[in-house]
Amino acid sequence: MRSLWQWLLPTCVIAGANQAQANGWNMPVGVTDISRDIYGLHMTIFWVCVAIGLLVFGVMFYSLFRYRHSKGAKAAEFHEHTSVEVLWTAIPVLILVGMAVPATATLKNMYDTSEADLDVMIIGQQWRWRYEYLGEDVAFNSNMSTPWEQIRGEAARGEHYLLEVDEPLVLPINRKIRFLMTSDDVIHSWWVPDLAVKQDTIPGFINENWVQINEPGIYRGQCAELCGVNHGFMPIVVHAVEEDEFEIWLAERKEAAEQEAMGVDREWELDELMARGEPVYRAICASCHQAEGQGAPPAFPALANNAQLIDDLDWHIDRIVNGVSGTAMPAFRSTLNPVEIAAVVTYTRNAWGGDTGDAVQPASIAEKIVQ
């Protein structure tokens, strides 16, 4: 039954559908077998609709033109015709069965997540993606890198405006990659059109999906489920690379992670922590608590000149490590490493005129996380 739309696909191409696709007017064909299958289904049902539409609207407009009252048309008397009615019920049913068969096959294929070569955990967070390569000790956050000056129109917009991130998801081509998807807060939806993967990430659930990319390249997408104020600003970028290139990248990331882990045990200077904390604050905290720590009450409290925060260091650390239940403040225990938490705590206690002079040490954070 795959033959039905495999036969129809070239027809579509002749009709110039690919032209439309190249101009960004149509669904992308994509770079996986499944995305091609879906594109085929999409075009088939589209042409079926066009054909039915031409027929129905053709009869309609012919009637409107031919049987005008102003031209003296006399109304006929007929008002039912069972065989015609049965026919126009039966034909759509047959067409639908014809559509359902290839659609079922494609869907079954999409649901077959068995025998994956690599497992990647995708975690949605307000408003970034976190990727964890399971079993490889590699994990990182992926934030939008488009500067707010561009969004505000204070700087020229780049080519990949809103569709660029600081750390893309790197995947090998030609390998079956299983995605395990969940969320830390609200429902998000991870969508990359070229991969034909769209799957909700839901707190408390782990959804599965998979992809096997045929061509190396950079594929961009966005969160597809309304997830709060910055829903429009959590893009996805996937770098699909050759398999050996991927192995090299993975090894580098592992080594970097080990370096970072060693940093936990040594003593850090205040300046060092501040320098480290600022980018973390900008990437993670600023979307709610704002660039200057002024917050957006009542939902997002101010951090600058926050007396409770300045007075009680343990309380401050606890908010970040464990989150605040019942609010939008998540636990960063597993999202950020001890160095990053120590740095961002230090930063918020010393930036914007706080000047407490506290240099919070990563080692003490690591202890708190273990507790």
- Binding of another protein by 166 (CB under 8 A): no
What whole-number distance in Å separates Cα of residue 225 and Cα of residue 167? 21
- The structure tokens listed for 297 are 């009450």
Tell me: does residue 326 bind another protein (CB under 8 A).
Answer: yes
d(CA 267, CA 280) in angstroms, rounded, equals 19
Of the candidates 4, 163, 304, 351, which one interacts with another protein according to CB under 8 A? 163
Peptide bond into 147 cis (omega under 30): no
Amino acid, single-letter form, for residue 224? A
114: number of Cβ within 10 Å:
9
Q: How many CB atoms lie within 10 A of CB 187?
A: 15
Contact residue for another protein among 114, 259, 325, 371 (CB under 8 A): 325
Among 147, 205, 252, 258, binds another protein (CB under 8 A): 205
Q: Name the minimum Å distance from CB 202 to another protein.
A: 5
> Total residues contacting another protein (rule CB under 8 A)?
100
Q: Out of 122, 169, 186, 342, which residue is the one contacting another protein (CB under 8 A)?
A: 186
**Contact stretch for another protein (CB under 8 A) within 63-71, 168-176, 242-250, 360-368:** 63-71
Judged by CB under 8 A, the chain residues 15 through 54 that form the site for another protein are 24-28, 34, 37-38, 41-42, 45-46, 49, 52-53
Instruction: State the Cα–Cα distance between residues 123 and 141, nearest whole angstrom.
Output: 9
C-alpha dist (Å) from residue 359 to 103, 143, 266: 59, 26, 13
By the rule CB under 8 A, 361 interacts with another protein: no
Binding residues among 235-294 for another protein as defined by CB under 8 A? none
Hey, which residues between 74 and 133 contact another protein (CB under 8 A)? 74-82, 84-86, 88-89, 92-93, 96, 99-100, 103-104, 106-108, 110-111, 126
CA–CA separation, 321 and 319 (whole Å): 6
Q: Residue 32: CA atoms inside 13 Å, Cβ hemisphere, count?
A: 24
